[in-house]
Amino acid sequence: MNNRGINFRTLLFFFVLIPVMFFGLLYSQLLNIIDPTGDSFNKVTAWWGRFSAKLFGISIEVIGQENYSPEKNYLVISNHAGMADIPLLLGTMHLNLRFVAKEELGKIPLFGNVIKHAGFVMIKRGQNREALKSLLAASDVLKSGRSVHIFPEGTRSADGKLLPFKRGAFLVAQKGGAPVLPVTIIGSHLITPKKSLKINKGKITIIIAPPLTPSLFNSVEELRDASSRIIANNLTRYSNN
């Protein structure tokens, strides 16, 4: 790993956030027994996201809150440039939100058990049938009235530039029958740089665009390309502000 240096915020992560997460997971294990829908766990993760931002000195500007309704459900798609993306989205998006996560996370003791029982969707890597099958399980979460988040790039961008979108996320939207909510995240690659243990303070801008209705598009590819254009345009527009 390059640039392995640590800083004060890295120590906060290990000696403050990790213990808080551990006890939070124990509490969440109990919550998931009492409330197997995972809705109570969602409130815990939202608090965790806000706590993490305050702990590391991250300020968040949200643009476009009026473009979605907390009472509705969406397939939320966004660019992915930092490890901070998930807690920041959980802390700022006023939605009953579940994430699609890589299968390996589901195998972590306690953590994996908690997020799986809360309705997070574990996806196999690759382009084979099993990978697509696990991804499409997210459409069942949408049908249950909850929102789902997917990073359609499939991996983190090292420099904050947008990577090509894969079509799988938009198959989920089509099958789940929920609007696609394009979200742009700016600045997270500077907070938690790829291949580094450093955690930096800074500002994150989150831009929420108006939702897209899948049935208005002629194909999954057309929906994918429209979503990618919106996020790319907002990256360009707000990065220069």
- Hey, which CATH number is domain 8-239, 3.30.70.940, 1.10.1060.10, 3.40.50.300, 3.40.1130.10? 3.40.1130.10
CA dist 222 and 51 (Å) reads: 38
pTM for this predicted structure: 0.93
Residue 231: name the closest of 38, 77, 117 by CA: 77
When pLDDT is cut at 50, 70 and 90, the band that residue 20 belongs to is very high
pLDDT digits (tens, 9 = 90+) for 87-140: 999 999 999 999 998 889 999 999 999 999 999 999 887 667 777 787 888 999
Instruction: Let me know how many helices (H) and strands (E) the chain has, helices first.
Output: 10, 7
CA dist 213 and 173 (Å) reads: 9
CA dist 115 and 98 (Å) reads: 9
User: Is there a contact between 88 and 53 (Cβ–Cβ < 8 Å)?
Assistant: yes
CA dist 99 and 84 (Å) reads: 14
Computed over every residue of the chain, the mean pLDDT equals: 92
Element (H or E) spanning 131, and its range? Answer: helix 129-136
Using left for φ > 0, alpha for ψ between -120 and 50, and beta otherwise, residue 162 falls in: beta
pLDDT digits (tens, 9 = 90+) for 49-80: 999 999 999 999 999 999 999 999 999 999 99
When pLDDT is cut at 50, 70 and 90, the band that residue 4 belongs to is low
Please state the domain extents for the chain: 8-239
User: Is there a contact between 153 and 168 (Cβ–Cβ < 8 Å)?
Assistant: no
Question: How is residue 149 written in tokens?
Answer: 């988040």
DSSP bridge pairs for 130: none
